[in-house]
Structures are given as structure tokens and as C-alpha cells.
Amino acid sequence: QHPIIAKKEVTQYILKRFGIHMNKKLGQNFLIDEEIITGIVEAAEITSDDVVLEIGPGIGTLTQGLLETGAQVYAVEIDKNLLPVLEHTLEGYENLQIINADILKTDIKELIGNRPFKVVANLPYYITTPIIMALLEEALPITKLVTMVQKEVAQRMAAAPGNKIYGALSVAVQYYSRPEIAFTVPPNSFMPPPEVDSAVIVCDIYNDKPVKPIDDKIFFQVVKAAFGQRRKTLTNSLGLLGLPKEEVRELLAQAQIDAKRRGETLSLQEFKILADILAQKNE
């Protein structure tokens, strides 16, 4: 009985009726393509048993697709101007809770409790990486993270070692999850159209991480140093760890990693080996 929101005319009508001017600073590009909504819900494999956290429901376009599955949805929207809109467009859905807050300042544990949940979002592009990193690092019981991001960001998240775009974000995402790009989305699926292509990326969060460093802080320090000066060989870039060159050479020799290699060629396992040697030294 709810009309579908993911249409150009419906979105235009809602915006006009509520006098909403889209806020570019908040990354407001609303989906107007029904097929994309279906694609996201399917990629996330949402069923009525799921608990879903949606970041940035906007006027409720994707939220509606999620709610129609019968899943329990928590939707966190920063823009209070959109609250009356959401109350109208999603009126009558009993499986919804709307929270007016900044996702980066929301206590998700307190909101959802200890139940496993999925994150599904068409993310605001100005804070994609901070949001994804915060969700991954908080050790929340997330099973799947399905997000619409800039295509280039999705490619970086999924990049393999040796690829030019493989970097600290790739390592971090792949440390916690198995990322896979589900499909790409052109600018005209949004209103207003963003200046970049987009992609939906599915990150299946590991229950049991394939790489388990002794100390994950040291692991990420090594990653940060290795990518801190991308053009440099590991002998030079790992100097950022505060070790004298001689010790860096020794560390690489002990790890059996060629000192002339660059950070962007190291696998997660190789980062772990380096981090574990350092961790053992500190003991």
C-alpha cells in the first residue's frame, strides 16, 4: 500500500511537498532507481530474520526496500529536516526505528544490543572511509556490510597486493572482511547525479580472521608506515616506525622479504610476519 519512493517523479514530489533542498555538504544524493534498491537488498541477502542498520536513510528510499523484507531496521539520519519526511514516507511500517543522529557519534551497541546485524547504506561520500573504518574497528557483531560508495573507493577496498590502488584501506577492509564488488551504478540513478560513478560493495565480515597478528596495533602501525611513502622501498618506508635503517634491514631479512619491495606488494600475511617479529622484540 506504500507507493515506491525510488522514482524520479515521486522523489521530486516529496521534496517539493516538504520544501526540502538537498544538502550537498551532507552527501545527499538520493536513489531514484528501483532496480538498484532491489539489487542492494538482494546483495545483502536480507530476510525477515535480519536486523539491519541503515546509515543515512534520506527520504526513505532504500529503507523502504529493506522494510519490505520484514527485517528489523534501525535507520540513523543526521539531517533533522528529513525526519518529518521519513515519518510520512515510511508511516505504518512497524519494523522501523528512526534515530536522528550522527552515525559517528552513535552508540551502536546500545542501540542494537548484542544481536548480530547487517549494515546496509548508500553512504554519504564525504565520510565513507571514516564510517567504514569505525564500523569495522569497533568489533560490533556485524555479519555483512553492504554499501554504496564511489566506484574508485570500492575498487581500492577490494584491490589485491601488487595492484597500484592497493593501500592501507585495502588492507584494513581485507583484515576484517572479504570484500566483493556486487555491481556498479551510474550517476543518473541518483538525484542529483553525483560527479562520479558508484558501486555497491559487499563485505562479508570474518568470524574467524584468516590473519591473526600477535598485536593488531603493531600490525596497523607497520601497514601505515609501509604505505606512508608509497614510492619508497620498504627499507626506507619502514623507517617511519622509528627504527634505524640497520634494524629495518634486519627485520626484513628475518621476515624473508626483499628489502627493495614496496609496501603495495605485501600481502596481509607478510604484514603479519613483520608485525609479529616487532611484537616479539617488544616483549
**Residues at the site binding ligand SAM, with contacts judged by CB under 6 A:** 26-31, 55-58, 61-62, 76-79, 102-104, 122, 124, 127
Number of residues that make up the chain: 283
Q: Kindly state the cell numbers that stand for 239.
A: 623507517
Residue 103 or 225: which CB sits closer to ligand SAM?
103
Reference 63, options 121, 2, 148; nearest CA is 121
d(CA 69, CA 45): 10
Identity at 202, one-letter amino acid code: V
Residue 153 or 159: which CB sits closer to ligand SAM?
153
Environment class of residue 239 by beta-carbon count within 10 Å: exposed (0-12), middle (13-18) or buried (19+)? middle
31 belongs to an annotated ligand binding site = yes
Measured from the CB of residue 76, what is the shortest distance to ligand SAM in angstroms?
5
Neighbours of 97 (CB within 10 A): 11
Measured from the CB of residue 41, what is the shortest distance to ligand SAM in angstroms?
12
Residue 46 or 257: which CB sits closer to ligand SAM?
46
23 belongs to an annotated ligand binding site = no
Measured from the CB of residue 245, what is the shortest distance to ligand SAM in angstroms?
43
Measured from the CB of residue 242, what is the shortest distance to ligand SAM in angstroms?
34
Please identify the residue of the shown chain whose CB is closest to the bound ligand SAM: 56
9 belongs to an annotated ligand binding site = no
d(CA 16, CA 14): 5
> Do residues 65 and 76 make contact, with C-beta atoms less than 8 angstroms apart?
no
Residue 109 or 245: which CB sits closer to ligand SAM?
109
H/E segment holding residue 172:
helix 168-176
In the block, cell 515521486 appears at 10
Measured from the CB of residue 174, what is the shortest distance to ligand SAM in angstroms?
25
H/E segment holding residue 89:
helix 83-89
d(CA 52, CA 35): 20
d(CA 128, CA 155): 13
Residue 127 or 223: which CB sits closer to ligand SAM?
127
d(CA 156, CA 107): 28
Residue 67 or 76: which CB sits closer to ligand SAM?
76
> Do residues 218 and 279 make contact, with C-beta atoms less than 8 angstroms apart?
yes
Measured from the CB of residue 121, what is the shortest distance to ligand SAM in angstroms?
7
102 belongs to an annotated ligand binding site = yes
Binding positions for S-adenosyl-L-methionine are 29, 31, 56, 77, 102, 122
Binding positions are 29, 31, 56, 77, 102, 122
